[in-house]
Amino acid sequence: MNSHTPTPPSGEDRRGFFRQAAAVFLGGLTALVPLAAGLLTLLDPLRRKAGISGFVHVTSLSALPEDGTPRRFPVIADRVDAWNKFPRVPIGAVYLRRSGPLVHALNVTCPHAGCPVEYRSANETFLCPCHNSKFKPDGGLADVGSPSPRGMDTLEVELRNGTEVWVKFQNFEAGKAKKIAVA
């Protein structure tokens, strides 16, 4: 019978192992720093909200008819979409209506299916050409049996310097009875 007792590793072998383990650990940690920075840069647009926030200058008060007739205006603003920034592009449109010193704003998008609504001055109604939803001049539903689940979406308006019309523009989900902002 051959009895062989293993010899314990020498101190030099153990130190070499710990040096190698420490080098692998520190090398991996060093590689994680640029990897984390790259991932944060790549995913940054997903964490940001797209679109615009706040009020956008649309027109001057003198451009609105004093008789309360709605008039359509494009909304022009800087648009940020993921990694791209598009300066001064159309992001939507609004109907503005002057009522004495007040200005009312309606999003031109039909709340039923998202089609652009047209104003018909002959019968003073808004009409959606896609499914014939009709709206009153204030944006409310004109027909009880309308396919639209709600009236046109109202938007906040600010008058600045007494002559500038600013609108807090946003879009809302189509086909829903509740007014839910699109992110």
Query: CA 99, CA 104: separation in Å to the nearest integer?
Result: 8
Name the residue among 159, 182, 161 with its Cα closest to residue 172. Answer: 182
Higher pLDDT, 51 or 47: 47
Phi, psi of 33 (to 5 degrees): -60, -55
Is the pLDDT score of 48 beyond 60?
no
Q: Residue type at 36?
A: A
Using 50, 70 and 90 to split pLDDT, how confident is the model at 86? confident
